[in-house]
Amino acid sequence: MEFTRFKQTKTQRGFTYAYYFKPASPGKPTLLLAHGFPTPAYIWHKQIAFLEPLGFGILAPDLLGYAGTDKPTDPKAYVGSGLAQDIVDILDKEGIEKVVAIGHDWGVQVVSRLLNYHSDRIIGAAVLAVCYLPPIPVGTDMTLVLKEKLGYDVYAYQRFFVEPGAHLLIEKNVGLQSKVLSKRMLIVLQFDAFFSMFFPLPKSDSQPENIVRDHMCVEGKAKAWVEENRVTELVSYITPQDKQYFKETLLAGGMQGPLAWYKVFLSGDGSADDAKISKEAALITKPLLFIGFNNDPICRPEVGYETHAAYVQSQSNITNKVVDGDHWALLSHSDEVNKALLEWIEGL
């Protein structure tokens, strides 16, 4: 990923965005790549390395709260309508009329609201791991909805993320190690525990836990993992250099902005904003690619199938693919993901 391709612009809401941009070759569409938590645009580097040489335009923003983009701490800045408008402002800045919108994790929230508010700017949409996110009715607790659907507390970790001071706990260590380690070392250890939980080693003979299911999906366990500074080996699909970049960008900007995506979701501010979306606008009329990741305990493919059956207006618009990876299969199984994306894009 060539970092010299990053540009900056200020949106109508007054936020400065950093974004990777490579113009499309004649006859090729521009691909919008919207990342999720807790990674900036760099998470797409394997897709960019594959798709950019084929002539596709690439627009990969550091979304609000990340890396070179502004990091407001008010969760209301992260409502879906505002995030979608920010992206449209970037498209207008670059003179791009339409894009193929591709999202992973919270990036799917951005793609979903682009479909709802600005469908005229979308050629087609691809969602990875997370399915299309329809407007949430006011008063609906999605943590309870999914717990009842899946039979376990799939969003337990999110309640830790929205606790006051959660960002400080992730950024710092207040434990016994403070007697023997420098402040810098403490920050590294605490972040490493968070990183080990979010990019988990798979279950094996030497690592008998399903880290995501056993700790992120059980009340109190995610917080305890971080407090206890539980650090594992680095997963094979992330290099030490990759991790260092994620660490530096997140610690430099702090975790309060990235965690605000969860606060607006759980506080009700997000659903209040969604109330502006009409029933007609909530339906998807564009081609949709869903790439589910079979080994992701939180973002289950079956939830995506059910959601898309209800909201995609013509079932012929849906293309489903499944990859035998966890939440980060866009890295660990990048060849399969890239192939699925290319086949679908070329068929649009």
Q: What is the model's pLDDT at position 89?
A: 98
- Return the number of other C-beta atoms located less than 10 Å from residue 49's C-beta: 13
Distances in Å between the Cα of 341 and the Cα atoms of 18, 52, 224, 319 are 24, 13, 38, 10
Residue whose C-alpha is closest to residue 31's, from 122, 149, 115: 122
What was the pLDDT predicted at 257? 97
pLDDT for res 339: 98
Q: What's the sign of the alpha-carbon dihedral 259, 70, 41, 252?
A: negative
Q: What is the pLDDT of residues 291-308, one digit of tens each?
A: 999 999 999 999 999 999
Residues of the chain with CATH 3.40.50.1820: 3-139+276-346
Q: Give the tokens for residue 239.
A: 């290099």
Q: In what order do the strands lie in the sheet with 57-62?
A: 6-10, 16-22, 57-62, 30-34, 99-104, 122-128, 288-293, 318-323
Residue-wise pLDDT for 199-258, tens only, equals: 999 988 888 999 999 999 999 999 999 999 898 999 999 999 999 999 999 988 999 999
Q: Which stretches in the chain have pLDDT values below 50?
A: 173-188
State pTM to two decimals: 0.95
Kind of pairing, strands 99-104 and 288-293?
A: unpaired
Alpha carbon distance 112, 108 (integer Å): 6
Query: In 3-state terms, what secondary structure has residue 230?
Result: coil
Give the pLDDT confidence score for residue 181 in this predicted structure.
42
Cα–chain center distance at 137: 22
Cα angle value 252/253/257 (rounded, 5°): 155
> Is the domain covering 3-139+276-346 a CATH 3.40.50.1820 domain?
yes
The number of C-alpha atoms within 13 Å of 259 and in the hemisphere containing its C-beta is 23
The pLDDT score that the predictor gives to residue 172 is 72
> Quick one: tokens of 156?
């337990």
C-alpha closest to that of 132 among 151, 153, 111: 111
Strands 99-104 and 57-62: unpaired
Joined tokens for residue 192: 């490493």
